[in-house]
Amino acid sequence: MADELKYNGTELLATVASRMLEDNKSVFVGTGLPVVAGMLAQKTHAPGLLIFFEAGSIGPIVPQLPISVGDSRTFYKAVAASSMHDLMSMCQSGYADYGFLGAAQLDARGNINTTVIGDHAHPKSRLPGSGGANDVGSFANRLLIIMRQSRRSFVEKVDFVTTPGYLSGPGAREKAGLAAGGGPYRVITQYAVYDFEEETKRMRLRSLHPGATVEIVRENSGFDIIVPDKVAASPTPTAQELRLLREVIDPRGIVIGK
Amino acid sequence: MKILEEGKGKLIGWRDPDENRQWVLEHKSRKLEDKRMTAADAVTRFVNDGDFLVMGGFGHIRVSMILIYELIRQGKRGLKMAGKTAVHDSDVLVAAGCVDEIEVAYTFGHELRGLSPASRRAAESGKLKIAGEISNAGYQWRFLAGMMGLPFMPSRNLLGTDTLKHSSAKVVEDPFSGKPICLLPAAYPDVCFIHVPRCDKYGNAQIDGIMVEDFELSRAARKLVITTEEIVDEDFIRETPDRTAIPFFLVDAVVEAPFGSHPCLMPYKYYFDEEHIGEWLSVSKTDDGVKQYLDKYVFGVADFAGYLEKIGGRAQLEHLARVEHYQEQMRAPWVDARKDGGK
């Protein structure tokens, strides 16, 4: 392997995630890795990727990594610098093809916790809360979740359902009143990509990253992951993707340096 | 309408629409008058202990830091705060002891910088009460309902989650579709601070870049203090009325405050001061550090001009303006430390 094709886990995560974003579709991105993946997709296979930021930016060409999803970098060369009401309303009415979120804890049905570890009244660790995550999980047609996988983060039961995945299973979102047909689409971790089995809406292994195995995936999960007979190999970063990540998108390693 | 589910979060900021309408009729003057005053006078006149405070902007974007420092300097207490993408604004206010209760959409975080040591400490120790949970769109639509003079706004978020269970929203059966729908209670801030790039002396204000939720907030708030980078002539406003985000009769006070959002970002004017925010995140890991910070930057200066000198004066502010315009790289010790630590 050529020297420049060595990469760290976060760079792999960012490239795998970026390949999932389709050209000429819209994506609502959250802070951190989702922004990096969106920027990378825009600079490679998806120049027509329509990026939304919750604070009101519509269709920017993000010039450098924003520190905040309301940062002036998020509305650089945007088609509109609008408002949260405008943006969120459009997402609620069906203009968000993809939503893209991180998570602190995730369960087998893609329910996300970013609110609290431990009891809500007496938290072990207080986290920031929903932010726009509940809105993205409720409104996006397909939700992408990107996170680091471990027994602590992939749990049988999340301490707090901040953002809806498939809730208790098939039909539960619609029964709760959420928009029909939405929900988690893929989960991307440092080991693998997962989708959701249609009949159970439980997480299923879809592809393994280089070096990862079914055993590693299972060891690093607090719930049973469905493993099909055939598991694909995840795409690996190209030299161009790595160059863009390191030299253009995040030259100071704020997100990918970790 | 049948109630299907009720959140157990505390209802804050809600008012009967008729009561608020009457209050507006009696208290909001329609007279075009000069409302300029100092930050100290604005806080003294328009903020009471225990008020429900909502900040314009986005937590660390276009927030009125000049008024936040003034709240701390005047020792305001018992404020209830909207944690609607609350970042640096709420972190400093909670650490200083001004805010004792917060409703959380996003709080306790500094986005890419990581979590907020001081306000998390307050939440985890129980010193800061959590009134309830909500989402960003959920909070924003509470203000939309307030602005419209309605008791609630229907929405299709929060449903099915613990966020709803810990919110002040209710779920009912929608009489049109027959499906469950979330009702977000209206929210009327007692006092709202909005920082803008320019306005006239009456308060007619323009906003550059994203509006976030300031259109709705300015109209839902009972008392509204505008701080502005620049005061412009009334003629300037009237020549481009399509640019007015906030008309004067919503505004109670106008405070001229160049760099009034420092160390936060003011779109098209200046970028985050990551050296200063980094210093805050580092010292605020302890209560002693918080005290030293406030002694140095708030109590140790007479006013905001004194503060701007202390953070590096003109040289630093010009650097931040160049960073905002992509002419210089930001100086961010926390970024360098993270990169070194990551290798």
Find the CB nearest B213 among A64, A68, A83. A83
Q: Do A129 and B335 touch (CB under 8 A)?
A: no
Q: Do B215 and A252 touch (CB under 8 A)?
A: no
* Rounded average pLDDT over B206-231: 98
Q: Does a structural domain hold residue A201?
A: yes
The interaxial angle of helices B274-283 and B88-95, nearest 10 deg, is 40
Find the CB nearest A126 among B61, B120, B181. B120
Give the tens place of pLDDT for each residue, A64-102. Answer: 999 999 999 999 999 999 999 999 999 999 999 999 999
Three-class secondary structure of residue A1 per DSSP: coil
Q: What angle do CA B318, B324, B328 make, to 5 degrees?
A: 70
The answer to whether residue B73 scores a pLDDT higher than 60 is yes
Q: Do A127 and B105 touch (CB under 8 A)?
A: no
Q: How far apart are CA A252 and CA B182, in angstroms?
A: 43
The CA-to-CA distance between both ends of chain B, in Å, stands at 59
Give the tens place of pLDDT for each residue, B119-176. Answer: 999 999 999 999 999 999 999 999 999 999 999 999 999 999 999 999 999 999 999 9
Q: Does a structural domain hold residue A38?
A: yes
**So what's the pLDDT on residue B342?**
44
Find the CB nearest A83 among B106, B109, B215. B215
Q: Which domain holds residue A194?
A: 3-249
Distance from the B122 Cα atom to the nearest Cα atom in chain A, whole angstroms? 10
Q: How confident is residue B338, by pLDDT bands cut at 50, 70 and 90?
A: confident
Q: How confident is residue B340, by pLDDT bands cut at 50, 70 and 90?
A: low
Q: How far apart are CA A136 and CA A115, in angstroms?
A: 15
For residue A204, what are the β-bridge partners?
A195, A226
Residue A134: Cβ within 10 Å count: 34
Three-class secondary structure of residue B165 per DSSP: helix
DSSP per-residue string spanning A119-141? -SSSEEEE----TTHHHHHHH-S
* Rounded average pLDDT over B57-76: 98
DSSP per-residue string spanning B130-152? EEEE--HHHHHHHHHHHHTT-SE
All residues of chain B having their beta carbon less than 8 Å from the beta carbon of residue A84 are 136-137, 140, 211-213
Question: What CATH number is attached to the domain comprising A245?
Answer: 3.40.1080.10
Backbone angles phi, psi at B131, to 5 degrees: -65, -35
Three-class secondary structure of residue A206 per DSSP: strand
Q: How confident is residue B339, by pLDDT bands cut at 50, 70 and 90?
A: low
Q: Does a structural domain hold residue A19?
A: yes
**So what's the pLDDT on residue B220?**
98
Q: Do B343 and A178 touch (CB under 8 A)?
A: no
pTM, entire model: 0.97
The answer to whether residue B343 scores a pLDDT higher than 50 is no
Query: Is residue A54 flagged as an active site residue?
Result: yes
Catalytic residue among A54, A174, A199, A247: A54
The CA-to-CA distance between both ends of chain A, in Å, stands at 22
CATH superfamily for domain B12-256: Glutaconate Coenzyme A-transferase (3.40.1080.10)
Q: Residues with Cβ < 8 Å from B32, sequence gap 6 or more?
A: B202, B248
Return the domain boundaries, chain B.
12-256, 274-342
The answer to whether residue A1 scores a pLDDT higher than 60 is no
The answer to whether residue A2 scores a pLDDT higher than 60 is no
**So what's the pLDDT on residue B34?**
98
All residues of chain A having their beta carbon less than 8 Å from the beta carbon of residue B87 are 68
Q: Do A72 and B265 touch (CB under 8 A)?
A: yes
Find the CB nearest B161 among A85, A92, A162. A162
Give the tens place of pLDDT for each residue, A153-174. Answer: 999 999 999 999 999 999 999 9
Q: How far apart are CA B102 and CA A152, in angstroms?
A: 28
Tell me, rounded to whole angstroms, the distance of Cα A93 from its chain centroid: 21
Q: Do B326 and A123 touch (CB under 8 A)?
A: no
Q: Does a structural domain hold residue A257?
A: no
Q: Does a structural domain hold residue A255?
A: no
Give the tens place of pLDDT for each residue, B281-332. Answer: 999 999 999 999 999 999 999 999 999 999 999 999 999 999 999 999 999 9
Q: Does a structural domain hold residue A256?
A: no
**So what's the pLDDT on residue A258?**
59
The answer to whether residue A257 scores a pLDDT higher than 90 is no
Q: Does a structural domain hold residue A80?
A: yes
Give the tens place of pLDDT for each residue, A220-233. Answer: 999 999 999 999 99
Backbone angles phi, psi at B164, to 5 degrees: -65, -45
DSSP class of residue B262 equals T
Q: Is the dihedral of CA B336, B337, B339, B343 positive or negative?
A: positive
